[in-house]
Amino acid sequence: DQQVKQNSPSLSVQEGRISILNCDYTNSMFDYFLWYKKYPAEGPTFLISISSIKDKNEDGRFTVFLNKSAKHLSLHIVPSQPGDSAVYFCAASVGQGAQKLVFGQGTRLTINP
């Protein structure tokens, strides 16, 4: 049973517009959520995170929103740039100091000029 799901395998957005990537989870014990970005032939790199005590975290062009009641989080990228084209993974963890991350299957984002 997949505890973290990214239901859109791909997303195509025009340069300059907003990209919204979605992630759903089933385990209500998750209390920390992260987004990773992966380019081909490279490992995933950490992008942004959010604790369950917050509902929004912003870092430059990237904002993550958390809706605990819906068990849903989203990553907003605005404005989208060609360099944002990559695979984005959502991940979640349980418990203070937890070391295990549960990943979604990823969404491939393509930014069109």
Partner 1 sequence: ETGVTQTPRHLVMGMTNKKSLKCEQHLGHNAMYWYKQSAKKPLELMFVYNFKEQTENNSVPSRFSPECPNSSHLFLHLHTLQPEDSALYLCASRSNRALFYEQYFGPGTRLTVT
Single out the residue of 87, 92, 111, 105 nearest to residue 14, CA to CA. 111
What is the nearest approach in angstroms of partner 1 to the Cβ of residue 91?
A: 8
| Cα maximum dimension of the chain | 42
Sheet holding 19-25, edge to edge: 4-5, 19-25, 72-77, 62-67, 56-59
What is the nearest approach in angstroms of partner 1 to the Cβ of residue 46?
A: 4
**According to CB under 8 A, which one of 14, 15, 28, 46 is a site residue for partner 1?**
46
101/112 Cα distance (integer angstroms): 31
54/33 Cα distance (integer angstroms): 11
Binding of partner 1 at residue 111 (CB under 8 A)? no
Binding of partner 1 at residue 74 (CB under 8 A)? no
66 versus 80: smaller Cβ distance to partner 1? 66
Token couple for 86: 């990559």
Binding of partner 1 at residue 89 (CB under 8 A)? yes
Binding of partner 1 at residue 1 (CB under 8 A)? no
Give contact residues for partner 1 (rule: CB under 8 A): 2, 4, 9, 32, 34, 36, 41-46, 49, 89, 93, 97-106
